[in-house]
Amino acid sequence: MTILVTGSAGFIGYHLSKKLLEANHQVIGVDNINDYYSTELKYARLEQLGVARVDAAIDGLECSSERYPNFKFIKIELADSDAVKQLFKKYTFDKVCHLAAQAGVRYSIENPEVYIQSNLVAFGHLLEAVRHNHVDHLVYASSSSVYGESQEVPFSVTQRVDHPISLYAATKKANELMAHTYSHLYEITTTGLRFFTVYGPWGRPDMAYYLFTKAILSDKPINVFNNGEMKRDFTYIDDIVEGVQRIIEQPIVNRECYKIYNIGNSRSEKLADFIETLEKHLGKKAKKNLLPMQPGDVSQTFADVSALQSDYGYSPNTTIDEGLKQFANWYLKTKMG
């Protein structure tokens, strides 16, 4: 298949692109390579995919891979309607996996405009492109943040999610509603995936485990919110990518036009235990700065993944001990901080 992966220089997008390329699919990767976090890390991910440095690339310029003949990367801004139209005019896609977005709960409180452009306007352009170019299936990233402060655990896709507590969460809920409308009006097949705290090698440096690692190794204190009592469904990147690949490659269950799934580890781990495991694999204790909850944060996430298990055979099996061991080894080896 020919598959468009948006956000291919991002954490999940990079890993998914690599997995799909190794399965011999044709992958067109796009990204705007913004500076929300280190562009050096984004370039390094692309280099792992065989694409030479593209920091000087002109928007819209196609870059070929020296490692994967079936991969091309294009730097574009999805909030630019004309750029999206040109992309779909040049290529015919069997599937689209939309992972590009402005991430970060706390950042959305300080920088709302970028979320509106990247998460709402861009998604609208992509839906229009999928509609007019007869793409078989649109798979897109939602987020566990849509559950807000729900006390019903584990979180189920049957729960109402009408009360997001950050703009980031609101944009992800809006994406689900936009996809539902397009599925209903135009019979476009869409699948939304509510990701739960993804971690692992080549991860996002704004994520807590990455920040913790950098600080611990530098003998600096780490900020531990809610005194370490928060609980998260930490999900290792390989489990996430395996699940997304199944959805892309397998026939759509019951040919339903609109689906939403949780994709997580189906375990809720206390942040304090997560830190202790990270300390073990770094071989160094953390200096902890215990702080209260931050605006927009939630006290717990916990995914019910039974629907994804039933429909696609999804089976996450990476413990935080094994996952953090892999991350720590990668970080200590590459120093990508």
Q: Mean pLDDT of residues grouped by 10 in the chain (337 residues)?
A: 98 98 98 93 95 69 92 96 96 98 88 96 98 97 94 93 93 98 97 98 96 96 89 97 97 87 95 96 95 82 96 96 98 86
Query: Where does the chain show beta strands of DSSP type E?
Result: 2-6, 26-31, 62-64, 71-75, 95-98, 137-143, 190-195, 198-199, 221-225, 231-232, 235-236, 258-263, 269-270, 287-291
User: How far is C-alpha 37 from the chain's CA centre?
Assistant: 14
Residue among 195, 212, 209, 226 nearest 294 (CA): 226
Q: Parallel, antiparallel, or unpaired: how do β-strands 190-195 and 258-263 relate? A: parallel
pLDDT value of position 249: 97
Q: Do 209 and 324 meet the contact criterion of CB atoms below 8 Å apart?
A: yes
CB 101 within 8 A of CB 118: yes
* Angle, in degrees to the nearest 10, between helices 11-22 and 39-48: 0
- Establish whether 258 is a catalytic residue: no
Question: What does the pLDDT read at residue 11?
Answer: 98
User: Tokens at residue 249, please?
Assistant: 């490659």
Classify residue 101 by burial, with Cβ atoms within 10 Å: 0-12, 13-18, 19+: buried
Pairing outcome for strands 287-291 and 71-75: unpaired
Alpha carbon separation from 92 to 2, 130, 186, 275 (Å, rounded): 7, 10, 19, 45
Q: Phi/psi at 114 (nearest 5 deg)? A: -65, -30
Among residues 168, 209, 210, 331, the one annotated as catalytic is: 168
Name the DSSP class of 116. Answer: I
Note the pLDDT of residue 54: 66
Q: To the nearest whole percent, how much of the chain has pLDDT over 90?
A: 85
